[in-house]
Amino acid sequence: MFTGIVQSTATVKSILNGENFKHFVMEMPLELLKNLEIGASVANNGVCLTAVAFKEVDSVNGQIEFDVIDETLRLTNLNDIDVGSSVNIERSMKAGDEIGGHMVSGHIHTTAKLTNRIDSKDNCQMTFGIDKKWQKYLFAKGFIAVNGCSLTLGDVVQGSFNLHLIPETLDRTNLGKMKLGELVNIEIDQQTMTIVDSIERIMSEQALSN
């Protein structure tokens, strides 16, 4: 489990294309490798991946490696990243950690495309297009995880939603570097999905019984 509070970004150093998978080597702050073990879960752009190798590069940086299967590549934006790309990183939460965002599983539901961006001095408004089948789970002021970032939804309209991002979020994550047309990974808040699906099921059952 994760909190959606991105700890740092990692830079893709190399990508090896295998049979039905890709092997990624990422460079990130050495601090984030502290107490890491092989098999540990690390969120990459919100995708829960398993660390298969890691090492110290120098006094500041470390490298970590992941294998990503074709199904994950198909469902997320990890298939679109290249050497030099920036990826949001979060280590899995520990019991007793402060939860500054919301509970995030690292299991991506869909992707969304950046369709508009308005930058100002203290704010950035981003609009993302999303498949309409997911819109029933999106509510203004509700939670959403975008590339692993726990964020609050702005306006939700037909087939799209807005986010209002502060400079800290833009600086700390890869959202600040996003360009129009790029895809982000989306994880819908599980509690919201459970409530909406439960209400739909109850209403459907009541309609059938009448």
Q: What is the pLDDT of residues 159-172, one digit of tens each?
A: 999 999 999 999 99
Residue 203 falls inside a structural domain: no
- Do 18 and 79 share a domain, yes or no? yes
Residue 58 falls inside a structural domain: yes
- Do 133 and 177 share a domain, yes or no? yes
Mean pLDDT value of segment 173-200: 95
If phi over 0 gives left and psi between -120 and 50 gives alpha, with beta otherwise, what is residue 45? left
Residue 182 falls inside a structural domain: yes
The confidence score (pLDDT) of residue 204 equals 87
pLDDT at residue 10 tops 90: yes
The confidence score (pLDDT) of residue 96 equals 67
The confidence score (pLDDT) of residue 158 equals 87
Q: What is the pLDDT of residues 36-51, one digit of tens each?
A: 999 999 999 999 999 9
Spatial contact of 90 and 42, defined as CB atoms under 8 Å apart: yes
Residue 141 falls inside a structural domain: yes
- Do 145 and 186 share a domain, yes or no? yes
The confidence score (pLDDT) of residue 11 equals 97
pLDDT at residue 33 tops 70: yes
Residue 43 falls inside a structural domain: yes
Q: What is the pLDDT of residues 90-149, one digit of tens each?
A: 999 877 677 777 889 999 999 999 999 999 988 999 999 999 999 999 999 999 999 999
Residue 177 falls inside a structural domain: yes
- Of 78, 107, 73, 79, which is closest to residue 2 (Cα–Cα)? 107
Residue 204 falls inside a structural domain: no
Percent pLDDT > 70 in the chain is 97
pLDDT at residue 84 tops 90: yes
Q: Which domain holds residue 123?
A: 110-196
Q: What do you get for the CA distance between the two ends of the chain, in Å? A: 42
Token pair belonging to 185: 């990974």
The confidence score (pLDDT) of residue 94 equals 78
> Tokens 């986010």 belong to which residue?
163
Residue 115 falls inside a structural domain: yes
Helix (H) or strand (E) holding 203: helix 190-209
Spatial contact of 104 and 139, defined as CB atoms under 8 Å apart: no
Picking from 28, 56, 91, the residue at the C-terminal end of a domain is 91
Please report, to the nearest 10 degrees, the dihedral formed by the alpha carbons of residues 149, 74, 197, 126 taken in order: 40
* Whole-model pTM over 0.85: yes
- Do 73 and 133 share a domain, yes or no? no
Q: What is the pLDDT of residues 12-24, one digit of tens each?
A: 999 999 888 999 9
Spatial contact of 14 and 41, defined as CB atoms under 8 Å apart: no
Spatial contact of 187 and 88, defined as CB atoms under 8 Å apart: no
Structural domains in the chain (count): 2
13: domain CATH number?
2.40.30.20
Give the residue, 210 or 62, on which the prediction is more confident.
62
